[in-house]
Each structure stands twice: as C-alpha cells, then as structure tokens.
Amino acid sequence: MAVRTVRRVRTAIFAAAVAAAVTATAFVEPASAEQARPTSHRAAQRAMDAAVAAGVPGVIGVAEDGHGRWTGEAGVADTRTGRERRAQDTFRVGSLTKTFISTVLLQLEAEGRLSLDDTVDHWLPGVVRGHGNDGRSITLRQLLNHTSGIFDYTRDPGFRNLLFGPGFLQHRFDTWSPDRLVQTALAHEPYFAPGTSWTYSNTNYILAGMVIHRVTGHTYAQEAERRILRPLNLRSTSFPGTEARMPAPSGRAYSTLGGTPDRVYDVTELNPSVAGSAGEVVSDSPDLNRFLRALLGGKLLPARQLAEMTTTVRIGTSPNASYGLGLMKVTLSCGTEVWGHDGGIFGSSSEALVTKDARHALALNFNADWTGDVMAVAEGEFCGK
C-alpha cells in the first residue's frame, strides 16, 4: 500500500522455463571490503550504508544484470538479535502489489474477457455511487493509471485515527473487507472528474481486485497465483490474505507510528487485509527482480497489452516521472530510464526497478517507514552515484 507518491521526485518509483529465461547467473560477493565489490555496485552499497546511518535498522538489495547477481546489505534484520539481513528474507512489498494486479487485468483483456474501456459499473453495478462518485463514468483503465478521481481510503481521517499512529497497536489485527475499504473512500467526494487529472489512490486497486473476482469467479490472489506466481516459480511471493505472521525467512519491520525516532515499535505482525489488492503481497528481492524482468521482457503479456501498460500519464508537475498501468516510469539523473513501483506499508519501504530492455533490475527493502532514501540506492545502482 504505497502511501507516498512522487513527493520526492527522484525517490518516487521506484520494486519454470519462463523463470530460467529471466534469472541471471548468481555469484557470491564478499561481505566486506569495498574494494572487492564491482565498481558498478559501490555507490549502491554506500547509499545502503547511509540509510542505516540515517536510522533505518536494515537494508537489503539484490541487483541482476548481464554480469550476474549482486547482493548488498547493511544494518540488521532484527534489532533484538542482531541478525543481518539476507537476500532470501521476505518482506511486505506494499504497492508493488499493484503491478501484479494490473498484469492480471491486462491478461484478462488479452483473452477478450474484458476491455480496459469497460466502466467500473459494468462489472461492479452500483458499487461506486454517492457523494459525486459514479462508476458509470469511470473506466478500468482509469483505475489502473490513477486518473479515476476516487478518494484514497488511506487518507480518510477515521481510518488514519485507527491505524496511522498509536491506534495501530490496538487495530493491527482487524480484518477489512474490500467493500468496507471502498465505502470508506466513497464517503468523500472525488478529487476530480474522471480522466481530467492524476492522483494516487489505493481505492483504485481495491476496486480492480473486485473486478478480477467478478470476471473470473476467483479471488485476485488465486488468479495471480495461477497466472504469475506459479509460471515464474515465485516461491517466496504470496498473497497472505488475513494471515498476520510473516513467512520464514524474514526479519522484523519497524515504525515510529508517526512519533519521534527515539520510540520505535515492532510492527511486523499485522492483518494485511487493510491493504488488500492495493498492497498485501509478501515477497523477496530475487522474486521481484524475476517478476519485473519477465514482465518488461514480454513473458507475461502480449505486445499490445505491454504497450498499454507502459503508456503513461503525467504525475502532477513531475518532469521525470509518469505513471502507466500499475507501473511507473522514471528517468534517473544520469538519463537512464527505469520502470517499476515503490511500496510503503507499516514498517517497510520497498522499490523494484528494471530497465526497459529487462536486462538490469534492482529490488530493495528498508525495514523502516520513517527515514532513509530508497531512490538513492537506485541512483547508485543504475547511475553509479
């Protein structure tokens, strides 16, 4: 559930046979001595070290390119035991979930089972109504590229009082149905008329998940498992539903719950239904790299649907970032164009990025949600600075 958008422009993106086609040959990089690291990864490692110096307990990042796989880490996975972070550690990826959901919908379009120009009301009759909201005038495409205007339920004051702050400790295990999340959003007027502007809204992808269920008769999680996770052999990736515990191996996740850094809480366990199809996925860095390399490499979508996914709209006044269908395009300071998504959820900040040719990928995670610059690591990896 990415709650940040392009608030910091340069930080705002960014996370079987098919698997064999997109997995690079691994190599083991020494855990110490910067001179032993390939020159192209030194800046990324320095940015990880800087994040830990800024207060992030631990960072893990895995990069893959034509030369192999590099794993960088800094800090710890668990502040109590001091265990270091590992490439195989799973973490909550937040809004990187949106890229999975968009891929499923685009596959359904390729199969002729829906059109991105269908209205929301066509598939969810009467669901989006009231306070100026009307699903008869909102298309599926507008859900996926955040031009629907629908209010983001995570910005609702009542919702925030329950979960953003100390209230999290009392409500972390609550179950939230998609209908409840949508109705929380529809208590507010839309941001703008559909298609006239852009504002990030998690509600869009809660509705997208509901559409998948209506079209297929299966949950979005079941469809993503069948269409993406199993074909790509993404064994560390899951849609946990209401399961609060993290699958092993994993570290801990930390948050200040909106307070000061001198009081940090362990927020690892939570009911991910609060994020649902907008942000519930758990994964690890190698799986995220494999997914994005397969996606941009044309292994998951026909050319027409991949072209639709990578057709972007402007993000406010940002000169170097734009949003497609569950994918963001960002031009880095060195001119390199990368595609992917960020993900922010309680105690976890993630990025997964890949070049358009699918040859160079990076997926990383900070086990904190209040400090650190994830895009500095990306700049280091792709630009060497």
CATH number of the domain to which 125 belongs: 3.40.710.10
pLDDT of 10:
29
Mean pLDDT throughout 34-51? 76
* 92 vs 244: CA distance, rounded Å: 11
Amino acid 379 reads: E
Say if residues 13 and 338 touch (Cβ distance below 8 Å). Answer: yes
* 33 vs 230: CA distance, rounded Å: 38
Max CA distance (Å), the chain = 62
**Is 2 inside a domain boundary?**
no
* CA angle at 156 for the pair 154 and 158, rounded to the nearest 5°: 115
Residue 316's pLDDT band (cuts 50, 70, 90)? confident
Burial of 318 (0-12, 13-18, 19+ CB in 10 A): middle
- Name the most confidently modeled range: 27-31, 32-36, 215-219: 215-219
Amino acid 221 reads: A
Half-sphere exposure of 317 (CA within 13 A, CB side): 2
Mean pLDDT throughout 197-204? 98
**Is 130 inside a domain boundary?**
yes
**Is 3 inside a domain boundary?**
no
pLDDT of 12 over the 80 cut: no
> What pTM does this model have?
0.91
Q: Which domain holds residue 100?
A: 9-383
Residue 11 phi/psi, 5° resolution?
-110, 5
Mean pLDDT throughout 316-334? 94
Over the chain, what is the mean pLDDT? Answer: 91
* 289 vs 358: CA distance, rounded Å: 9
pLDDT of 149:
98
Q: Which of 95, 238, 283, 350 does the annotation list as catalytic?
A: 95
**Is 228 inside a domain boundary?**
yes
Task: Give the CA distances from residue 64 to residues 40, 75, 173, 174, in Å, rounded to whole numbers and listed in that order.
Answer: 12, 22, 36, 38
Residue 215's pLDDT band (cuts 50, 70, 90)? very high
Residue closest to 138 by CA, chosen among 203, 221, 183, 187: 203
Residue 66's pLDDT band (cuts 50, 70, 90)? confident
pLDDT of 373:
96
Q: Where does the chain have alpha helices with state H?
A: 17-22, 39-53, 97-110, 120-123, 140-144, 157-163, 168-171, 178-186, 202-216, 220-224, 285-296, 303-309, 374-383
pLDDT of 19 over the 50 cut: no
pLDDT of 34 over the 70 cut: no
* 203 vs 183: CA distance, rounded Å: 10
Tokens representing 275 are: 């994020």
Say if residues 99 and 361 touch (Cβ distance below 8 Å). Answer: no
**Is 4 inside a domain boundary?**
no
Q: Identify whether 95 is a catalytic site residue.
A: yes
Residue 1's pLDDT band (cuts 50, 70, 90)? low
Mean pLDDT throughout 233-260? 97
The residues pairing with 349 across neighbouring beta strands, listed in sequence order, are 344, 366
**Is 1 inside a domain boundary?**
no
Q: How many domains does the chain have?
A: 1
